[in-house]
Every structure is written in structure tokens, then in C-alpha cells.
Amino acid sequence: MSEGAKTDAIHVAASETAADVREVTRQRVVEAAADLLAREGRDAVTTRAVAAAAGTQPPAIYRLFGDKDGLLEAVVEHGHATFLATKHRDTRPQDPVEDLRAGWDLAVEFGLANPELYALMYSDPRRAMASAAFQAGMQILLGRIRRLAAGGWLRVDETLAAALIHATARGAVLTWLSLPEDQRDPALLTTLRESMVAAVTHERPVVQDAGLADAVRTLQALLPGQTTLSSAEQHLLSEWLDRLAADG
């Protein structure tokens, strides 16, 4: 019996290591694909290139993932999982609205840091919801939203809140990435975030009475139509107005 138990244990251990080996190579292939995606773009992710980078052969990919789409799905899953890991870091029950902001920022920063992966994860409408790690992340998000609701902050449906958070984050990342680098204004991200907070919660945004900047903007828009000032004067005036708007 002890012998039987021993062999059983050995067998179990052996099959475990066999499954582990399979899982390890699977992980190696996924990481090779993710690396290739991040470094050389989506078109560089061919079955042959991934197999070569992972030190195996093309048919192995089909034995592991069934399909190239299966491989990409695994890469997406891996992306959601790594993002989820950074998300789990701090879950201290501080201000739930502040938690909402932090979670949104984290998601956006992840997208900006991994543009190709983000495009694969979110730009294809069909693949978006299918991931298990994505569902786990969704549960975390819904937990945050639930806490908002419990605190009396929530302004809309919980599901609508989740959709709003996703939509603003997606729009933020994709628009940011589509802008040329010299036109990327960080205010785009913060404004979208506060916009999202205002739409989801009851927290009134600090109504800045920044009348100066508004007056400057209005005047700037109306300046081209005036005929009083010379072009040199108008040019200098416009410069000063810019400075006023920037510092105001």
C-alpha cells in the first residue's frame, strides 16, 4: 500500500510536471508573442516568428492554442492578467471617488505604455469581453462602483457606470495615441477623467471661476475680425493673451 501510494504520488507528481512543462512552454510562447507584438508591431506576430522566438516549431502553436486566433486570445488574456496584477496592488479603503480616479488612471497608463497590446485587447469589439482576467478586472471595477453606490456617490446605473468608465478610458488612450507627439496635451487625460467622475458620481467638480482664461479665449476668437489694431499690435497682443491664458 505504501508502495502503491508512493507510485501514485510519483505518478501524480510526474503528470503534474508534464502538465507543468506544457504550461511552461505555453507561457513561453505567449510571452514571446507579446514581446514580438510590443517590439515589432502586430504584423510581426506570425506563427513562424513566434515559434522561432519561443524556441519551438510552428505546429506546436497549433497543438497549444488550436489556432492563431487562440494564440492572440492567450496574449490578450496574458495582458489582462498582468494589468490585473498591477491593479491588485493597493485596495485600501480610502475615498471611493479617489479610488475611481486611481483605477481609471491606472487603466489609461497601461494603455499608453502598451499601445499595440492595448489595440489588440480593446480595439476589436468582439474579443473584448471574452477574457477571464478581464471578467476578474470587471469584478474589481464593479466592486469599486458598488462601494461608490454604498457611499451614496453613484449617479447612474452600476452597469452604465462601468460602461462610462470603459468608454472614457478607451477614448482617452486611442485619441492620445493617434495624436502627434507635439500635440499631446496631458489636460486631455485629466479632463476626460474628471468628466468621467462628474458623470458617474455626485461630486461636483470644483467650479473654477477662471473668468480670465475664458475672457481671453473669447477675445482670441473675435480678434481676427477687428480692424482697429495693426497686425504687429495684434500679434503681440495675441502673444500676451496666450501667456495670460497659460498662467491663468
Minimum CB separation of residue 127 from DNA in Å reads 15
Q: Among 31, 35, 49, 162, indicate the residue that binds DNA (CB under 7 A).
A: 49
Cβ atoms of residues 79 and 114 within 8 Å: yes
Please answer whether residues 76 and 120 qualify as being in contact, where contact means their C-beta atoms are separated by less than 8 angstroms.
Answer: yes
Closer CB to a second copy, 135 or 159, in the complex: 159
Q: 45 or 169, CB closer to DNA?
A: 45
Residue 201, helix vs strand vs coil: strand
118-137 footprint of a second copy as x/- string (CB under 8 A) = -x--xxxxx-xx--------
Is 109 among the residues that bind a second copy (CB under 8 A)? no
CB of 120 to DNA, least distance (A): 13
> 135 is written with which cell numbers?
471578467
Q: Which is nearer to a second copy, 81 or 215 (CB)?
A: 215
Size of the site for DNA (CB under 7 A): 23
Task: Give me 14's grid cell.
Answer: 510526474
Applying CB under 8 A, what is the total number of residues that bind a second copy?
Answer: 76
Angle 148-158-104 (CA atoms, 0-180°, nearest 5)? Answer: 65
Q: Report if residue 58 touches a second copy, rule: CB under 8 A.
A: no
95 forms part of the interface with a second copy (CB under 8 A):
no
User: Do the beta carbons of residue 61 and residue 33 sit within 8 Å?
Assistant: no
Number of C-alpha atoms within 13 angstroms, CB side, residue 177? 18
Q: Does 132 bind DNA (CB under 7 A)?
A: no
Question: What's CA 132's distance to the chain center, in Å?
Answer: 16
Give the x-and-dash track for 190-229 against a second copy (CB under 8 A): -xx-xxx-xx--x---xx--xxx-xxxxxxxxx--xxxxx
- Give the span between the Cα atoms of 127 and 105, in whole angstroms: 23
**Is 190 one of the binding residues for DNA (CB under 7 A)?**
no
Could you say whether residue 44 binds a second copy (CB under 8 A)? Answer: no
Q: What's the distance, CA 145 to chain centroid?
A: 18
For 16, counting Cβ atoms within 10 Å of its Cβ (0-12 exposed, 13-18 middle, 19+ buried), the class is exposed
- Listed residue (59, 48, 60, 66) closest to 24, CA to CA: 60
110 near a second copy (CB under 8 A): no
28 sits near DNA (criterion: CB under 7 A): no
Give contact residues for DNA (rule: CB under 7 A): 11, 14-15, 17-18, 21-22, 25, 45-49, 56-60, 62-63, 67-69
